[in-house]
Every structure is written in structure tokens, then in C-alpha cells.
């Protein structure tokens, strides 16, 4: 599904190499987790995959379902089935949450040559999914993420994911800023979306989230590279001993 | 004879230049009526105009907007913009009054009868006595202090027509003034007087490019408990020029709300001067302007609080691209006895490229101690993070940009209370954006 080969990325504006040869393959139906110290390049990887400006790929490639992502515009990648749940969801004053969601759903459908979703079908789907995530009508009427609490912003990301039905979901520290109940809610939202033809890449610092969203594979990222890959037990090892041992071992 | 200092000489030269420009302008005008109820006010305006002189680029109040094309004797030509677009207020049930290049058109206008509203034409009321004589040129004159507005004095002196509207009840439908531009060299000058008696209520709509050059004054007297709603759409003609003044005087518990949408036009200067004379009144002045290329739009607002517990609110938003220029000069003056004043002012521009420019001079001058006043002014580009967020959800770049532009304008558009009118205005701005998609 998602295939990243020897990906090297530097900042466009300065001579700073951030990703130094990332290799990673996520198969359909699987959940991969990436853990790693702050500043190791996890968010950068998610941004580069989703097409944010400001980065330059100097080497390597990334494909989704065999199609190269790196030459596409951000919106084309989204239409191709890539979704990023942001570590810091953006506030957009003046754009209603519902309008935003509907515009996004229909823009993707249009890009794929599909018919627009009818207003009634859309409303029905939103209501159902929002209810599950405990997102009330008021949150849908407000401007995108404006005045939302940390937990509300993250739930709103999951709602978008649920409505857009992507093939490949990247979640960047979706657990940060969540209390236990909110984490459970968000995890359940994610688990509902798990399916044999959908892949997940879950970036997190904590084992906590992985108790709820059970990963098939765990990667450790450090200094712009995946330095270790293992099963769910690797996350437990990090939880108990921190990164020091693992980093010393790969040195 | 004592020698003049350099500064004195420079001042003298400036005064001479201004006098020259003013006299040339006055000479090019049709002579104003020497008789009738407005004659005295016109004569007074002429002498004030001569004493002050027309605006000069070196005047502080004209620092950001060049006045020459508005003051020169001949109107610069302006191509007529043809479109099969319907009139913006065509779908609204209204009394429609049409001026073509500043000339009233009986043929295009509807019947001027409306219950509780008397509508007369300035050019047709030539008797010696008229209710409007208490207002014509009077509010304009009051609004010349502390800042001179000579183009308004010029208008009081020379206006060829306009409407005298007296409202004694809640009007059952809006009065709409439609300004048609049909001649490439037209130079129109209209002067309206609107008097709302106690408890009366009127919505006044204005739209259209009016003329190659348009100078318009509207004096509005809102009596105790009366409400005046003003919604204006300035025409799309790219080369038109306009200077407009609104002078409003507000009585106790009265309401004054004015919203202007400006799309295109090579030069627009809209001045709004509001004075609170009765307690507990409300004045909102707002505008949304969108311009591309050869576009200069200036909002100049002066609000004087001279009564207790009044609320004033200014919300001005501009979207500028391809070197378009926006100007905002807004002042809130709170006099010593105007306690419990609530004054708010925001002016913001969204610059869609590096060539466009926003110049702002927000001012507060407060002499009372128990007041809440705030102001803010910003200019900036589209937020990259918001743009990426939208695109990462599959919204194409141009569509994302349009959404963000509309979002930027939202707080100004919300100043239009009537939902139907707000949707009409939003529709026009959306169309403007769509026409500009590269
Ligand atoms: N736009 C940027 N400008 C400057 N430095 C950046 C930028 N983006 C990322 N970095 C740097 O790249 C490194 C990796 O950052 P990031 O991808 O956010 O790490 P992580 O998500 O793993 O904490 C850090 O050293 C960070 O400071
Ligand atoms: Mg990060």
C-alpha cells in the first residue's frame, strides 16, 4: 500500500537534512506504529508524504498503491486516498466545520470522477459518525477547530478521516493532549475504520495509545531514520526503558 | 515689507495652488440655483469651499489617496462596463429610483409613492420653504470640523439633483437608488437628504457605478428611536471614480447601520461621518472591498461620541490583488461627557500578492474616562497552514483560496443583518473570485 524507499528530505530554505534514508512499507489492513524521540523526523515524514511545502526530497521515493506520491499536489494525494491526522490541527476562522467537511468530501469525489454526495446522504453520514465521536451539532456549526479543546480538535480529525474514507491513514501524535476517556473515544473511532484494505501509520510517543490501537509492526525512528523494527513488544520495551537502550544498541 | 520665511512661502504657494484648482473646478460647473430654499446653503458651501480649497496631495487627510482626479475640472473618461448581469437588488421588492449619469430617469424609476415615506427630488423642489432646509448642507457643514471635507462642500454647492426622503413610519419596503453609468465622460453630483422622524424605520439600498466620476453626499438625520439601514454595492465598472460622503446625526436610542460592498473601480473614497447627539444610540459602519490591479479604495470614517452609552462599530475588510491598494482612516472621538461609550474599530486587508498594499491610520481620541474602546488593523497574506490543511483534505488550491477569502470577509459580511441581502452580496463576491481564477 504505502511504500517508502530510501527517502531523504532536507528543508527547502536551509541546508538541513531531516530524513536520512527512510524505508518503510505498510501493507493493506495493517497498523504500523512509529515511535521515537522528539525531533527525530516523524512529523516531517508525515508532512512530506502529504505534500506540505517547504521540504525538498533529495533522494528516494514514496508510492501509494504503486503510484508515486511525491509529484502530486497535496489535494491529489488526498484524492488518491492519503489522509494525515495532524499533530496540531489548524484553526480556520470563518470557515464552518460542516461546510469544510462537505467541500472536502465532494472535492475528492469530483477528483476521482465520482458523483457528489447528496446533501441528505452527507448529513446522515456526518450525524452518525459525529455522534459516535461525541461531536455535537454546535461543533459542526463553529469555524473549523476554532475554540475547540485539544481533545475536540483530535476528535474532529478522526471525524474527517471517517467521512473521507482514505486508503492510508497517518496519525501524528493523535494521543497528545488527550485524557484517558478522550483517548479511548479516539481509539475506538480509529478501530472502527480498520479494514482489510486500509493501512495505518500511527505516530506516537506512548505505549498508552497502542494499548487501544493494536499495532502489527512497531518502528523506532531516530535522527531521520528507522533504526529498529519489531512487533508490539518493541513499544513495551520503549515504555519501560525509554529510547536510550535501543539507540545505544543500534549505534 | 518683512521677508517671508521658507515655510510661510511654501504655505502661501500651497494655498494659491489649491485656490487655482478650486476656481477651475467651480468654473467648469453649471451655475447653482440662486433662488429657492437651498440657495442659502449653497452659497454658504461655496464660500466655505473657497476658504478651504479643494484637497491637495499634500493635505494630511489625503496622504494615502491622490485627490487630483477628483478635483480636476474635467472628469477623466471611464469606459462603460457592459454585462448581462442582473441588477443586484432586482429580486428585492423595493421602490426603485434610477439616475443615469446623475440624471433622474422617470422612465426607469418606479412610482415614488410609499406609505410613511415621502420622496421628492432636489431639482424639483424650488419653493422658498422646505423641511430639508434644516438639514441640507447643515450636517455636511457640522461634519467639516475638526477635519475639512471640501469635496462635500463642493457637492452641497453644486449638486444637480438628489432625493429628499422623509420617513414618518416603518417603511414597508426598501427605497433603492440605482445609479446607471452610460456616458464615458459623465461627471455626476447628487445630494440626498434623509430625515427619519421619531420611531421611523427605513432601509435604503444603493447600487451602480453612477458615472465616469461621481460625487455624492447623503445627509441622514435619525431622530429618537428611529432606525436607518443602508446597504450599498458600488458598481463594477473598472475605470469609474467616486467620492462619497455620508453625514449622519443620531438621536436618542436610534440606530444607524451602513454597509458597503465595493467591487472594482479605479478610485473610490467613501467617507462616513457620524455624530451621536442622543444617548443609547447605535452606529455600525462596515465595508467589504475586493480589488484587482488598478484599484484604489479608501474608507475614511469619523465617529464622534457626544452622548452617553452609545455604541459605535467599524468593520472594514479588503481583499487586494495585482497591485491593488486599500486605505483605511478611521477615527473614534469621545467627548468628555460621552461616558459609557463602547467604540470598536477593525480594519483588515488580505493581500493576495506582494504588489498589493494596505495603508491604515486608525485613531482613538478619548476625553471621557468611563469608556471601552478598541481598535485593530492588520494586513497579511493567506495563511499557509490553513491552505495546506484544506488541500490535505482534498480541496483544490483555487477552491481553498476562495474559501479562505470568503472566511476573511465573513465578519464584515455579518454586519448585513438581512440574510437575503447578505446572501446576494456574498454571491457577487463569490462570482468575482470565480472570474479571477487563473
Ligand atoms: N520547517 C522547519 N524549519 C526548521 N526546522 C524544522 C522544520 N521542520 C522540521 N524541522 C526540524 O527537523 C527535525 C525533525 O522535526 P519533526 O519532524 O517535527 O520531529 P518529530 O515529529 O519527530 O518530533 C527537528 O530538529 C526540527 O526542529
Ligand atoms: Mg512531531
DSSP bridge pairs for A85: A171
Q: Test B394 with A50 for CB contact under 8 angstroms.
A: no
Mean pLDDT on A179-183: 87
- Is the model's pLDDT at B1 over the cut of 60? no
Residue whose CA is at the smallest distance from ligand 1 atom 26: A39
Q: Test B394 with A79 for CB contact under 8 angstroms.
A: yes
pLDDT at A172: 96
pLDDT at B84: 83
ipTM, interface predicted TM-score of the complex: 0.96
Closest residue on chain B to A103 (Cα) = B395
- Tell me the CATH number of domain A2-250, given options 3.40.50.10540, 3.40.50.300, 3.40.50.150, 1.10.510.10: 3.40.50.300
CA distance A17 to chain B (A): 22
Residues of chain B numbered 339-398 and touching chain A (CB < 8 Å) = 383-386, 388-397
Alpha-carbon radius of gyration of chain B = 21
Map grid coordinates 485524557 to a residue.
Answer: A179
- Is the model's pLDDT at B185 over the cut of 80? yes
Binding site membership of A67 for ligand 1 (Cβ less than 6 Å):
no
Any idea what DSSP says for residue A35?
A: E
CA distance A96 to chain B (A): 9
CA distance A199 to chain B (A): 17
pLDDT at B438: 57
Distance A45 CA to ligand 1 centre (A): 10
Distance A173 CA to ligand 2 centre (A): 7
Tens of pLDDT, residue by residue over A85-137, are 999 999 999 999 999 999 999 999 999 999 999 999 999 999 999 999 999 99
- Is the model's pLDDT at A25 over the cut of 90? yes
Binding site membership of A54 for ligand 1 (Cβ less than 6 Å):
yes
Give the span between the Cα atoms of A22 and B409, in whole angstroms. 43
Atom number in ligand 1 closest to CA A46: 17
First to last CA, chain A: 31
- Is the model's pLDDT at B65 over the cut of 80? yes
Atom number in ligand 1 closest to CA A173: 21
Q: What is the mean pLDDT of chain B?
A: 96
Distance A38 CA to ligand 1 centre (A): 9
Ranges of each domain in chain A: 2-250
Give the span between the Cα atoms of B182 and B210, in whole angstroms. 8
Alpha-carbon radius of gyration of chain A = 18
Distance A223 CA to ligand 1 centre (A): 10
Pairing of strands A55-64, A67-68: antiparallel
Q: Helices B384-392 and B397-413 meet at what angle, rounded to 10? A: 120
Q: What is the mean pLDDT of chain A?
A: 94
Number of neighbouring beta carbons within 10 Å of residue B95: 21
Evaluate whether B164 touches B84 at the Cβ level (below 8 Å).
no
Evaluate whether B330 touches B298 at the Cβ level (below 8 Å).
no
| Phi and psi, residue B415, nearest 5° | -70, -15
Number of neighbouring beta carbons within 10 Å of residue B14: 14
Longest CA–CA span in chain B (Å) reads: 79
Tens of pLDDT, residue by residue over B68-108, are 999 999 999 999 998 888 899 999 999 999 999 999 999 99
- Closest Cβ opposite residue A107 in set B399, B406, B407: B399
Q: For the whole model, what pTM was predicted? A: 0.93
Amino acid at each position: 500500500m504505502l511504500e517508502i524507499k530510501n527517502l531523504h528530505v532536507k528543508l527547502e530554505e536551509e541546508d538541513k537534512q531531516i530524513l536520512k534514508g527512510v524505508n518503510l512499507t505498510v501493507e493493506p489492513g495493517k497498523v504500523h506504529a512509529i515511535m521515537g524521540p522528539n525531533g527525530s523526523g516523524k512529523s516531517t515524514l508525515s508532512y512530506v508524504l502529504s505534500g506540505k511545502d517547504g521540504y525538498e526530497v533529495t533522494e528516494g521515493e514514496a508510492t501509494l498503491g504503486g503510484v508515486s506520491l511525491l509529484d502530486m499536489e497535496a489535494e491529489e494525494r488526498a484524492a488518491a486516498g492519503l489522509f494525515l491526522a495532524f499533530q496540531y490541527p489548524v484553526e480556520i476562522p470563518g470557515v464552518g466545520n460542516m461546510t469544510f467537511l462537505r467541500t472536502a468530501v465532494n472535492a475528492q469525489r469530483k477528483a476521482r470522477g465520482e458523483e457528489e454526495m447528496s446533501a441528505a446522504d452527507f448529513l446522515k453520514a456526518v450525524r452518525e459518525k459525529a455522534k459516535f465521536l461525541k461531536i455535537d451539532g454546535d461543533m459542526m456549526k463553529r469555524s473549523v477547530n476554532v475554540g475547540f479543546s485539544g481533545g475536540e480538535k483530535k476528535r474532529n480529525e478522526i471525524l474527517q478521516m471517517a467521512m473521507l474514507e482514505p486508503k492510508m491513514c497517518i496519525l501524528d501524535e493523535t494521543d497528545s493532549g488527550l485524557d484517558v476517556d478522550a483517548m479511548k473515544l479516539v481509539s475506538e473511532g480509529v478501530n472502527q475504520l480498520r479494514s482489510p484494505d486500509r493501512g495505518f501509520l500511527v505516530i506516537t510517543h506512548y505505549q498508552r495509545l497502542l494499548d487501544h490501537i493494536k499495532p502489527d509492526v512497531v518502528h523506532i525512528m531516530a535522527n531521520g531514520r528507522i533504526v529498529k523494527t519489531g512487533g508490539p513488544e518493541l513499544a513495551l520495551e520503549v515504555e519501560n526503558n525509554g529510547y536510550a537502550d535501543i539507540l545505544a544498541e543500534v549505534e | 515689507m518683512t521677508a517671508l520665511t521658507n515655510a510661510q512661502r511654501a504655505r502661501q504657494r500651497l494655498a494659491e495652488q489649491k485656490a487655482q484648482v478650486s476656481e477651475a473646478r467651480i468654473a467648469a460647473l453649471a451655475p447653482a440655483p440662486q433662488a429657492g430654499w437651498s440657495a442659502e446653503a449653497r452659497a454658504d458651501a461655496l464660500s466655505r469651499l473657497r476658504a478651504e480649497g479643494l484637497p491637495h496631495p499634500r493635505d494630511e487627510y489625503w496622504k494615502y489617496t491622490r485627490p487630483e482626479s477628483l478635483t480636476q475640472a474635467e472628469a477623466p473618461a471611464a469606459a462603460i462596463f457592459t454585462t448581462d448581469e442582473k441588477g443586484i437588488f432586482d429580486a428585492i421588492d423595493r421602490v426603485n429610483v434610477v439616475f443615469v449619469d446623475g440624471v433622474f430617469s422617470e422612465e426607469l424609476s418606479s412610482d415614488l409613492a410609499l406609505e410613511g415615506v415621502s420622496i421628492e427630488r432636489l431639482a424639483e423642489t424650488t419653493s422658498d420653504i422646505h423641511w430639508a432646509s434644516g438639514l441640507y448642507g447643515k450636517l455636511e457643514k457640522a461634519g467639516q470640523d475638526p477635519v475639512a471635507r471640501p469635496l462635500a462642500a463642493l457637492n452641497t454647492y453644486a449638486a444637480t439633483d438628489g432625493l429628499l426622503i422623509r420617513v414618518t413610519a416603518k417603511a414597508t419596503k426598501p427605497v433603492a437608488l440605482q445609479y446607471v453609468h452610460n456616458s464615458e465622460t459623465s461627471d455626476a453630483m447628487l445630494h440626498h437628504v434623509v430625515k427619519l422622524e421619531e420611531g421611523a424605520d427605513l432601509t435604503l439600498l444603493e447600487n451602480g457605478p453612477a458615472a465616469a466620476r461621481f460625487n455624492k453626499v447623503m445627509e441622514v438625520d435619525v431622530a429618537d428611536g428611529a432606525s436607518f439601514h443602508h446597504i450599498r454595492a458600488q458598481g463594477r465598472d473598472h475605470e469609474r471614480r467616486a467620492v462619497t460622503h455620508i453625514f449622519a446625526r443620531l438621536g436618542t436610542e436610534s440606530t444607524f447601520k451602513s454597509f458597503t460592498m465595493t467591487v472594482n473601480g479605479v478610485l473610490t473614497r467613501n467617507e462616513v461621518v457620524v455624530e451621536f447627539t442622543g444617548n443609547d444610540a447605535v452606529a455600525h459602519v462596515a465595508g467589504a472591498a475586493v480589488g484587482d490591479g488598478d484599484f484604489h479604495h479608501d474608507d475614511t470614517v469619523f465617529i464622534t461620541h457626544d452622548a452617553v452609552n452609545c455604541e459605535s462599530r467599524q468593520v472594514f475588510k479588503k481583499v487586494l490583488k495585482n497591485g491593488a491598494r486599500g486605505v483605511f482612516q478611521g477615527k473614534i472621538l469621545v467627548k468628555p461627557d460621552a461616558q459609557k461609550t463602547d467604540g470598536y474599530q477593525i480594519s483588515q486587508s488580505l493581500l493576495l500578492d506582494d504588489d498589493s498594499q494596505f495603508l491604515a491610520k486608525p485613531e482613538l481620541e478619548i476625553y471621557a474616562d468611563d469608556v471601552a474602546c478598541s481598535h485593530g488593523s492588520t494586513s497579511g497574506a493567506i495563511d499557509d497552514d490553513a491552505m495546506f490543511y484544506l488541500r490535505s483534505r482534498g480541496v483544490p488550491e483555487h477552491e481553498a483560496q476562495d474559501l479562505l477569502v470568503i472566511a476573511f470577509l465573513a465578519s464584515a459580511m455579518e454586519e448585513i443583518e438581512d440574510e437575503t441581502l447578505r446572501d446576494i452580496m456574498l454571491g457577487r463576491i463569490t462570482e468575482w473570485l470565480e472570474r479571477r481564477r487563473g
